[in-house]
Amino acid sequence: MKPNSLQDLYLNELRDLYDAEHQIMKALPEMIAGATSEDLKSALDEHLEVTKEQVTRLEQIFNEMGEEPKAEKCKGMQGVIAEGGDLVDEIDDPDLRDAAIIASAQKVEHYEMSGYGTARTYANLLGEDQAARLLEETLDEEKEADQELTTIAGEINAKANEGQTEGETSETPKRSGKGKRAA
C-alpha cells in the first residue's frame, strides 16, 4: 500500500503492530522455556497473556474502522526477535542466558512502545478517540512490562557478572578498585 495520507500511515502502523504482536506470541514460549529465573519466567508468561489481549484490542480497532484485521510483515520485529534468539542460543550459563533474554525482551518492548506511541498520536489527530484510548492502554502495558524487566535485570545481571568474575579470579588478577582510583 502506498500511503497518501496520515490515515494511511495510521492503518499501516496498526497492521505492522498486528503482525509484531503475532510474532511476539510465537517467540515468547521459546524465551520462557530458555529462561531459568522463576521471576523472569513468570514475567514473560504474564506478558504472553497480556499480548493476547493486545491483539484483541487491535482487532477491535480494525473492526471499528470497518477494516479487516490484516497483518503487514513487521521486518523490524522479525530482526529484533531473530537477533535475540541467535544470541540466547549460543549461551550455556543460565544467569548469562537470562540476562540476554531480558536484553532481547526489552528491545521488543521498546520497539512496541515506539509503534504504539506513534499509532496513539495518529489516532488522536484523526479524531479516533476510542482507538486512541485502547492504544494508550496497550502502550501503558508495554511500559509496565519494560519496567518489570528492568527490576528483574537488577538481580540477574549482577548474578551473571558474579559468575564471570568468579571464573576470572582463578587466572586473572583482581582489577577492582585500581581502575576506579586512577580515573
**Residues engaged in binding Fe ion (CB under 5 A):** 51, 54, 112
Residue whose C-alpha cell is 493476547: 52
Q: State the Cα–Cα distance between residues 30 and 19, nearest whole angstrom.
A: 18
For residue 21, the minimal CB distance to Fe ion (Å) is 5
For residue 102, the minimal CB distance to Fe ion (Å) is 16
Cβ proximity to Fe ion: between 93 and 136 the closer is 136
For residue 180, the minimal CB distance to Fe ion (Å) is 40
Q: Could you give the C-alpha distances from 105 to 40, 42, 66, 67, in angstroms and in order? A: 10, 13, 33, 30
| Residue with the shortest CB distance to Fe ion | 54
Chain Cα centroid distance, residue 153: 14
**Half-sphere exposure for 145 (CA within 13 Å, toward CB):** 30
For residue 5, the minimal CB distance to Fe ion (Å) is 26
Task: Kindly state the cell numbers that stand for 33.
Answer: 522455556
Cβ proximity to Fe ion: between 89 and 140 the closer is 140
Cβ proximity to Fe ion: between 50 and 91 the closer is 50
Cβ proximity to Fe ion: between 19 and 98 the closer is 19
